[in-house]
Amino acid sequence: MSRYSAFSLIKNALSGHKNWKRTWRAAEPKPHYDVIIVGGGGHGLATAYYLAKEHGIRNVAVLEKGGLGSGNIGRNTTIVRSNYILPANTRFYEHSMKLWEGLSNDLNYNMMFSQRGVINLAHTPGQMDAFARRGNAILLEGVDAELLDTEEISRRVPGLYTGQNTRFPIVGGLCQPRGGTARHDAVAWGYARGADKYGVDIIEHCEVTGFIKDGDTVTGVKTTRGDISAPKVAISVAGNTSTVMKLASIDKMPIESHVLQAFVTEPLKPLINTVVTFGAGHLYISQSDKGGLVFGGDLDGYNSYAQRGNLPIFEHVAAAAVTMFPNLARLKLLRNWGGIMDMSMDGSPIICTGPLPGMYLNAGWCYGGFKATPAAGWCFAHTIANDAPHALNADFTLDRFYNGRQLDERGAGPYPAHQ
Partner 1 sequence: MIIKCPHCGPREASEYTYIGDASIQRPDHNDTDMEKWSDYVFMRENPRGAHMEHWQHTSGCRSFVKVLRDTVTHEISDVTLEGPWQAEDKS
Q: Which residues bind partner 1 (CB under 8 A)?
A: 240, 242-243, 251-257, 301-306, 310, 312, 345-346, 401-402, 414-415, 417
| Shortest distance in whole angstroms from residue 66 CB to partner 1 | 15
| Nearer residue to partner 1 within complex by CB, 114 or 344 | 344
Residue 15 or 403 with smaller CB distance to partner 1: 403
Instruction: Give how far Cα 150 sits from Cα of 120, 124, 380, Å.
Output: 12, 12, 41
Using the minimum distance from each CB to partner 1, give the nearer residue, 161 or 314. 314
Q: Output the smallest distance, CB 404 to partner 1, in A.
A: 9
> What is the C-alpha to C-alpha distance for residues 170 and 181, in angstroms, rounded to an integer?
23
Query: Rounded distance, CA 212 to CA 367, Å?
Result: 32
Least distance from partner 1 to the Cβ atom of residue 363, Å = 11
CB-wise, 210 or 312, nearer to partner 1?
312
The string of DSSP codes covering 335-346 is EEEEEEEEEETT
Query: Nearest approach, Cβ of 315 to partner 1 (angstroms)?
Result: 8
Minimum Å gap between C-beta 314 and partner 1 is 11
Return the C-alpha torsion angle 280, 275, 258, 85, nearest 10: -70
| CA distances in angstroms from 189 to 98, 183, 373, listed in the order given | 20, 10, 13
Q: 355: cis peptide before it, omega within 30°? A: yes
Which among 297, 306, 267, 294 has a CA at the least distance from the CA of 279? 297
At closest approach, how far in Å is the CB of 17 from partner 1?
41
For the CB of residue 316, give the shortest distance to partner 1 in the complex, in Å. Answer: 9
Task: Kindly tell me which of 322 and 417 has the beta carbon lying closer to partner 1.
Answer: 417
Q: Nearer to partner 1 by C-beta: 242 or 419?
A: 242
Element (H, E) at 11: helix 6-14
Residue type, 97: M
In the complex with partner 1, the residue whose CB is nearer, 110 or 310, is 310
> Rounded to 5 degrees, what are φ and ψ at 80?
-125, 130
Query: What whole-number distance in Å separates Cα of residue 198 and Cα of residue 175?
Result: 38
Contacts of 391 (CB under 8 A, 6+ apart): none
